[in-house]
Structure 1
């Protein structure tokens, strides 16, 4: 029942004039009086409406008032409705005692005292309204409690996320400072050495061979800083939705052969080797620069964590998709970490000594998804890990 609904009173009597008289006595603008001329009609109304009180005539043909009261007390829906019996029979029949036994709260004899009837009904209506108001308040309090619990849970989650963001920020600043300091320190030391050689007049230290080595060292340090800055810019573009993908025709095997050739010296330097399993040419539409970025990230990680063992690249054409697998024979990745390593600034727990911001796999997965593909990792057949880049052949659809 809603708060503004009128309170309902049920009157049951087989005589229409009695119903009209009671209706006129009890009805007001906030109260609705419903009539029933038999027990069956009363039961139908009881199943449809909620009543504050029921006034039952005892002597009715068919189902009498006592029998109707017993039925009302037998069901949960009507068990708690206050019942007031009325009867024209003499007091010597002791109907009042039987009425109270049937669960009535009051018994009145005809002719009825209008003030007494109105007063009794007003009391039951007031109690009914108080009970409903109490139920509404309890329901409102329960709803408020649930909303507060939800709000507290959201605040707790927000606080945890904020704390995580602050930790990530601090870790990020620390990582960037550490990763940039290394190439900057190397450049600074190189500059000091060259300044010292110039002050001593040792121009032989700047001969063609020495100068070539100096330039190569400087380029390596500068490239290292550029890679760090590019990674940070890529993450910023991805989070702001500003990363641009420009698909164009690409022959995948030729791209992979060039990447393997470019990284062969790095592989040899780490005591490892790169091999590309032969495959027929695979043509597709991708952003070649971004796909190269993903493959280079995967191969660089495989060389870092592959324990000096060979790294293999294989290509698998599957319908309208192509899969590139990068397999290493390192220590592998724990199952609990296989999802976490794709988050920004995350690395495997057993490889904290490896340099880097922990952005490579995050960027690679985002680039794969930008091509409507995906990047995943599974354990190798015997050891190590297999990173699989799956791409649709036409990423521009």
Structure 2
């Protein structure tokens, strides 16, 4: 049945040479490509045809690609058409964020990766053809009562697969928004702090050394955002459900000291503080960005639910594992909720008023598990919580600790 279904593709670009090149790249026997050199021409084609995919150039004279996408999302006939944006602008323009806000499913930068473009277009073509095939099956079901039971079974199976795909998409987008928020909050906090210094005339806060530190922090947060977008849109990672882990050697104690310092302003705003009770130098091979993400989430939660009481942090080696503990003296978690909080979208009832999507601990546990580690929680309702992150140490470090233990 699929062999009789042709998927129509729309490509929009004001440059004829770009249209010709993209047309040649995505052509195939199971598809038909329509070209438009302006948003106005594209709208006419959209009203006339049913498209499996629209590939829009961002920068066009008159109505640009983002404006065209907003119009498409406002019309019943075109709102469900998947949109892929293409731009020659550098990644620093942050067009990708605006693209996803406009409802895009992907954002490609020029020069295009030919294999990636072909693969992604083929996925949308296959999805469209499968959906059209399902529609024809439904029509056949209505025409033939004799085949009703068999076709109904096929429909239920297909419906379950589609619902599962939608749930996976929604979960994925929720995780993306949650992860992006962490570096964005860091940038916003830096901007607010600088504005406060300027309003008070505190120019000493902008000495050469301090400006250099500010720029380094900004670059770190911006790079975090870029990596989040690139990693979360990786097709193979979506299909396998595996996190992207890039290990390198670093000192866990140094990372924690920096985090505690970064969170000091947030703690002061809550009339409390973070106490670094123990901080050993623990070298290991882990993904520094991902581990920082985990620990920042734990510190943020400790301050949020700690009822304005001091938060205590410890870093030490525990046999073959490195351990970071974050202890608060807040509302605590009862036994029946201690496993549930690590699931997606789960928050205990007492924490509902604090907001959040309930994804932080789920993401953190997946990151730690991907490193071969674990997260443990020791808590009682009303008595605070201790979250312990255990990460495997390199074999050389484990062997050295064993020798020291034997000598002692």
Q: TM-score, normalised by structure 1?
A: 0.43
Superposition TM-score, scaled by structure 2 size: 0.42
